[in-house]
Structure 1
Amino acid sequence: MTKAERTRQFIIEKTAPIFNKNGYAGTSINDLTEATGLTRGSIYGNFENKDAVALAAFDYNYSLVSAAVAARIKERTGAIDKLKAYTSVFAELYTLPVLEYGCPVLNTATECDDTHAALRDKVKGAISQWYGGIEGIIKKGQEHKEIKKSVNSREFAGAFIALIEGGVMLAKVTGKSEGLEAALKQARKMITEIKK
């Protein structure tokens, strides 16, 4: 890794939590310089503008959540247990460092759905990957006769993602875990109901 690449990575890692906590609109260049200890010129010497930093920060934040889910999935065998990996990660909303300020997909989605097309496209890509991962697990489970053939993997994935992200939203807004716990309980029930 070159010095320039290390500097870019440093900026991304230091600013990613700020974008996840404050959002795009709520994060200023002063926040970026304070977090990194770098000058405005150093940041803009490595990124074209604040948008470029925000997009890279989203990718970084999303990669951390994806890695946490992937690690849990890898530890498990069977489609049913692999689906439960999603619920186990988000059950750690208050203790998993990457989720300290909430799910970056949800946070970015609520802010940029009508205001920032490039960030919205990043979120759409992340959600599409989640759909694909869940659908893949279900289809493999159907092939191995673990999951009922009648299950529509696309519909399941959409409802499953909505439940989990809705639970995260309730927990972050209210400061209480009961909404998240209820959503995760329903998500686990969904998993149980598709078992063959």
Structure 2
Amino acid sequence: MLKGEKTRRKIIEKAALLFNKKGFDGISMQDVSEATGLEKGSLYTHFSSKEELAKEAMAYASMTSFISSIENLEKLTSPVEKLKLHIRNVLSKPNFPGGCPLTNIAIDADDGNTVMYAMAQESLKHWTSFLKQLIKEAQEMEEIQSSVNPEAFATLIISLLEGACLASRLQRSKKALTVAQQFLTAQIDGYVKE
């Protein structure tokens, strides 16, 4: 990796932590400069604007979080077991510092930030697509009933996981995470073909 690429990567990683913890409006390019130890002018050598940096930083945070959620899925052959492991991973692995990037991006987007809104939409679309594919594979392998709507079930899973993560943070308790995992596991088991 070239020096310029390493510097760009360092900026993205440090900025991702800042944006995810404090939101788009909560940080300035000066904050990123201080976190990276680089002059502001150097930041603008790599990124034309705060919006461009935010977009790449939050894409990095989202992808890092997603990679954690699919850890060890490749070791399983059953799509149903992959779905259950994905849910366990989301609820049990440490999230990206500052919380779930999708939730944080969506909160930023709610303030009318079009850059963050587009990022939130893209992250949600990617996750939904991933889950839909797993559910369809389970149906093709006759593990899940064909009557299950993959998009509706993916939406339910994401909604429950995101809500449980938020409730867990607010309550400073893992109770919501446990309840969500138990409910989704029971739901999946109820859809399994006998």
The TM-score range, normalised by the shorter chain, is over 0.9
Q: Is the 8 A contact 1:167 1:183 kept in 2?
A: yes
After TM superposition, which residue ranges in structure 1, 4 or more long, deviate above 3 angstroms?
none
> What's the TM-score, normalizing by structure 2?
0.92
- 2:42 is equivalent to residue 42 of structure 1: yes
Structure 1 counterpart of 2:6: 6
Cα deviation code 1:133-158 (max 9, x no counterpart): 11111111111111111101010000
1:167 and 1:184 in contact (8 A); partners too: no
Report what 1:110 is aligned to.
Answer: 107
In structure 1, what is the equivalent of residue 97 of structure 2?
A: 100
CA distance in 2, matches of 1:100, 1:46: 24
1:131 and 1:154 in contact (8 A); partners too: yes
The answer to whether the 8 Å contact 1:164/1:187 transfers is: no
Q: Deviations over 1:103-158 (max 9, x none)?
A: 10111112213421122111111111111111111111111111111101010000
Deviation at 1:28, TM superposition (A): 2.0
Question: Hey, what does 2:53 align to over in structure 1?
Answer: 53
Distance 1:83 1:174 in 2: 26
User: What are structure 1's unaligned runs of at least 5 residues?
Assistant: none
Question: Unaligned regions of 5+ residues in structure 2, if any?
Answer: none
- Out of 111, 117, 128, which is 2:125 matched to? 128
Partner of residue 166 from structure 2, selected from 164, 169, 180: 169
- Matched-pair contact (CA < 8 Å) for 2:79–2:134: yes
Bigger mean CA offset, 182-191 vs 56-65:
182-191
1:15 aligns with: 15
Over the aligned positions, Cα root-mean-square deviation in angstroms equals 1.5
The secondary structure found in structure 1 opposite 2:69 is helix
Kept in 2, the 8 Å contact 1:72–1:89? The answer is no
Q: So what's the TM-score if we normalise by structure 1? A: 0.92
Distance in 1 between residues matched to 2:146 and 2:15, nearest whole Å: 45
- Give the aligned length: 193
Once residues 11 and 82 of structure 2 are traced to their aligned partners in structure 1, the CA distance between those partners, rounded to angstroms, is 34
Q: Who is 1:143 aligned against?
A: 140
The code of the aligned residue for 1:74 comes to E
